[in-house]
Amino acid sequence: MVRVTEHGTEKALPLHLHFDAVQYIVRGYAEPDGYARKAPYDLLFTVLKPGDGTATVLAMKGVMNRATRDEIVRRLAAEGVHTARVVRHGQMREISTGLKEGRAA
């Protein structure tokens, strides 16, 4: 809150807020309509995207193969991410999405 003096009294003014979508919960399904059908997911993970061109993929449970990893990287690049940090089995690995630093998608 910002306080200003108005005729000797203080008045609280609301701040102008901006919300960024910085956290995603991602579910993976073996079938294309799995989410719509509320099918059990085959993969679940969290993405933290702080807005600096990086993203961290963590808390992953389930099956992930190379094709799924490539799709994650492609989707992150489309979101403007140039570097993905993937935490899997307690190990962190940095993956370049191919997007140049400083360039938005």
pLDDT tens for each residue of 57-85: 999 999 889 999 999 999 999 999 999 99
Q: Mean pLDDT score of the chain, rounded to an integer?
A: 88
Kindly compute the dihedral angle of the four CA atoms of residues 52, 55, 56, 61, in this order, to the nearest 10 degrees.
Answer: 160
The residue extents of the domains of the chain are: 19-96
Q: How far is CA 87 from CA 19, 34, 101, in A?
A: 26, 25, 21
Phi, psi (rounded to 5 degrees) for 59: 55, 40
| pLDDT number for residue 45 | 96
d(Cα 60, Cα 89) in Å, to the nearest integer? Answer: 9
Would the CA dihedral through 86, 89, 92, 95 be positive or negative? negative
What's the pTM value of the predicted model, to 2 decimals?
0.75
Mind listing the pLDDT tens digit for each residue in 3-46? 656 666 677 778 888 888 899 999 999 999 999 999 999 999 99
Nearest to 47 by CA among 91, 87, 96, 93: 87
Which token pair is 23?
């956290």
